[in-house]
Amino acid sequence: MTTSAIIMIIIGLGIVTYLVGRARAVTLSQGKLSNMHSRPVYYGAYAAICAMLPALAVLVVWLIAAPIVVEKAVKTSLSETTQEISVATGNLTFGTVRAIAGGLTKLTPEELARAKAGEINLREILGARGVPLASETDPAMVAAAEDYNALNATSRMAMTGVVLLVGLLGAAFGLRRIAARFRARNGVERVILVALIAASCIAILTTVGIVGSMLSETLRFFASVSPSEFFFGTVWDPRFSAAGNANSAGQFGLLPLLAGTLYIAFVAMLFAVPIGLFAAIYMAEYASPMLRSTAKPLLEVLAGIPSIVYGFFALITVGPFLRDLSANLNGLVTGNYQSFIQAQSVLTAGLVMGIMLIPFVSSLSDDIITQVPRAMRDGSLGLGATRSETIKRVILPAALPGIVGALLLTASRAVGETMIVVLAAGVAARMQLNPFEPMTTVTVKIVNQLTGDLEFTSPQTLVAFALGITLFVITLCLNIYALYIVRKYREQYE
């Protein structure tokens, strides 16, 4: 029986149990619902939970555990026959066995018999059925594959039986407990509460997953490239052509990427901060309600546009525009129509990223500025300060911590931005200071290293995780510090 069928049966069982439980509660109440502790639906729900929850738990555990057990059993029998030594080749062989096993189910019995007798080539016939095999099969593997299939079938049979049994037992237990004074509602609510807690733990699990997965892959990367080479290396040259060859692993210097990331983020902030901040100040302090209610959403539209669109804008419009502009400028000044800004450059990426960040700066700062109490404004205006003096000397200093927090959050976004730089910054990992030249970033290299078909064992691929964890740590520090500042700031004026 397939897993989904089992799940459907459990759900069906749950529904039936629910209906029976509810009906039982109604009967027990003898027409007076106040005789019962809880309303009938809770009794039904309680019984249904008893029926479904343990069964589903058993199902999940079984689904996770069974493949491991089966794999172990098959591997033991394989190594007895073939005397495999290393774990790696053992894994490889097991992979083939699994592929054969998958293929065997697609064969008719007589084909199988003929294949086993050696009359037809198993690899060819499986290839024709859409199951490509990496190597020729040998009888031991076929036998192991048959074992594997048999074990799996037994496991599935046993699982179906056990799960359904647990479900029925649960249902019986739940239904038996229904009594007038039984606190069904409390039981149901306890289960719901546990579910709520589990849901909120997903946030923690995500973080654990991010850190754990990236850390383990990074450690694998550091097994072949030393951390000091990675963190302090000034040359980025992963040498794809030599991928897999451990002797020419290439050079994985983080610094050029980090330099590009920070440079582009800096240029972006250079555009976004003044524009965003002044826009926020104008909207919070000067704008009429009319202007505010039109300009604010318009600027926020900029925040809603996906970054791929900005990337395309940079690639197709801004880059060529800057290149042609620089060519014309150069021509006007020196007579030589050679462009000095390249289409893919730090400036292009920074400018477009800056545009994307304007609404972040402005709406975060707007929130912060409007939180400064009115009494501050009144106090300053009452002394005869002009509005701009009030803003510059009272409101901004008061809002400064919050604004710094907002800017840090924006910087974290700039550092982690991917699509704009992938399309507009270039791929050359260089350390230089000319904003008109292309540079590359950490995010670009993560994408470069991981797109395409790659084995997950070479340092060329694993380096992406080392880059990822670097990026994660940088943004984590920025975020936590920024969130801390903003929170402190809010408390100050609450």
Partner 1 sequence: MNIITDTALEKALDAKMNTTPLKMIGKDVSVYYGDKRALFDVNLNVRQNTVTALIGPSGCGKSTFLRCLNRMNDTIDHCRVTGLITLDEQNIYDSAIDVVELRARVGMVFQKPNPFPKSIYENVAYGPRIHGLARTKSEMDQIVESSLQKAGLFNEVKDRLNEPGTGLSGGQQQRLCIARAVAVSPEVILMDEPCSALDPIATARVEELIHELRANYTIVIVTHSMQQAARVSQRTAMFHMGNLVEENDTDKMFTNPDDQRTQDYIMGRFG
Partner 2 sequence: MTVLDTPSVARSSVTPRRDIGIKRRYAAERRFRLYGMLAIALGIIFLALLLWSVFSKGYTAFQQTTITIPVTFSAEIIDPRNQRETDPKILQAANYPLLARDALVKALGVNPSDRVAVRSVSALVSASARTQLRDLVMADPTIIGTTQTVTLLADANIDSANKGQIDLSVAETSRKVNDRQLGWMKQLSEAGVLQKSFNTGLFTSGASSRPEAAGIGVAFVGSLYMMLIVLVLALPIGVAASIYLEEFAPKNRLTDLIEVNINNLAAVPSIVYGLLGLSIFINFAGMPRSAALVGALVLTLMTLPTIIIATRAALKAVPPSIRAAALGLGASKMQTIFHHVLPLAAPGILTGTIIGLAHALGETAPLLLIGMVAFVVDYPGSPMEPSTALPVQIYMWANEAERAFVERTSGAIIVLLLFLVVMNMGAILLRRRFERRW
What is the footprint of partner 2 within residues 155-194 (CB under 8 A)? 185, 189, 192-193
What is the footprint of partner 2 within residues 319-338 (CB under 8 A)? none
What is the footprint of partner 1 within residues 391-450 (CB under 8 A)? 393-394, 397-398
Name which position in 85, 199, 332, 433 contacts partner 2 (CB under 8 A): 199
d(CA 163, CA 9): 10
Name which position in 379, 457, 473, 484 contacts partner 1 (CB under 8 A): 379
Q: What's phi and psi for 251, nearest 5 deg?
A: -110, 135
Name which position in 17, 93, 326, 380 contacts partner 1 (CB under 8 A): 380
Shortest spacing between CB 485 and partner 1, in angstroms: 15
Count of C-beta atoms within a 10 Å radius of residue 361: 27
Residue 134 or 290 having the CB closest to partner 1:
290
In the shown chain, the binding pattern of residues 220 to 239 toward partner 1, with x for contact by CB under 8 A and - for none, equals --------------------
DSSP of 188-246? HHHHHHHHHHHHHHHHHHHHHHHHHHHHHHHHHHHHHS-HHHHHH---EE--GGGTT-G
Shortest spacing between CB 279 and partner 1, in angstroms: 20
Nearest Cα to 23, choosing from 178, 146, 160? 178
What is the footprint of partner 1 within residues 289-308 (CB under 8 A)? 289
Name which position in 91, 135, 317, 386 contacts partner 1 (CB under 8 A): 386
Q: Classify burial at 102, counting beta carbons within 10 Å of its beta carbon; exposed 0-12, middle 13-18, buried 19 or more.
A: middle
Q: Which stretch binds partner 1 (CB under 8 A): 33-41, 109-117, 313-321, 387-395?
A: 387-395
What's the length of the chain? 494
Name which position in 316, 378, 480, 488 contacts partner 1 (CB under 8 A): 378
* Residue 449 CA to its chain's centroid (Å): 17
d(CA 321, CA 323): 5
313 binding partner 2? (CB under 8 A): yes
What is the footprint of partner 2 within residues 210-269 (CB under 8 A)? 210, 213-214, 216-217
Number of H helices, E strands in the chain: 19, 2
Residue 63 or 255 having the CB closest to partner 2:
63
Q: What's phi and psi for 27, nearest 5 deg?
A: -60, -45
d(CA 402, CA 489): 6
DSSP code, position 256: H
d(CA 177, CA 450): 56
373 binding partner 1? (CB under 8 A): yes
Return the structure tokens found at 143: 């036998």
80 binding partner 1? (CB under 8 A): no
Binding partner of residue 393 among partner 1, partner 2, none, CB cut-off 5 to 8 Å per kind: partner 1
Shortest spacing between CB 367 and partner 1, in angstroms: 18
377 binding partner 1? (CB under 8 A): yes
Which residue reads 């129509």 in tokens?
337
Shortest spacing between CB 286 and partner 1, in angstroms: 12
What is the footprint of partner 2 within residues 262-281 (CB under 8 A)? 274-279, 281
Residue 164 or 341 having the CB closest to partner 2:
341
Taking a C-beta distance cutoff of 8 angstroms, is the pair 65, 51 a contact?
A: no
Judged by the rule CB under 8 A, the positions of this chain that interact with partner 1 are: 289, 373, 375-386, 389, 393-394, 397-398
